[in-house]
Amino acid sequence: MADNESTTSNAANGTGKPATNAARTRSATARSSARTSKASDGAMKKQIAELKREVNRLNRALSDQAEAANDWYQSAADRASNLYSGASDRASNLYSGASDRASRAARQLRSQAQSVSETVQQNPGTFSTAMLIGGLVGVLAGMAIARNSDPDPDWLRRWHR
């Protein structure tokens, strides 16, 4: 019966020669190689699926970080805008208050200058007499200060040594 099997395998090979152990080993190796190839394909598919999951996880983490950064940026921009508008409002209020006070002061100075001008125009003799008396008082004060009991002041002696 063994001869029949070898003859059948010879006919299947198409060689007409009896099958050898080397041919049987090669076919077993090929089957083993095919199984190993299938196993490595399966392992590679598992690794690819794992890598895809890892990439998806990293993409979600980056998306979350980008969203957090965007939220922070928006809140910082809102705070800066609020600070700017608050400072602008305060400056506007200060300017309007200062403008009002300056305008009132200018009106008051104008009215006082006008009243002085009217007084001088109505009483030219009184104004000139007041100016003359003021000048005399100034000259007398200067002479009183100049009359000192010490003929050589101390500061003059310091420079002439």
pTM over 0.85: no
Contacts 24+ apart (CB under 8 A), 76-81: none
The DSSP symbol for 161 reads -
Residue spans of the domains in the chain: they are 2-122, 124-161
pLDDT 10s digit of each residue in the chain, 161 long?
444 444 444 444 555 555 566 666 767 676 777 777 777 888 888 999 999 999 999 999 998 998 988 889 888 888 888 888 898 899 999 999 999 999 999 999 999 999 988 888 888 888 889 899 999 999 999 888 877 666 666 666 666 65
Which tokens in the block code for residue 4?
A: 């029949």
Contacts 24+ apart (CB under 8 A), 41-44: none
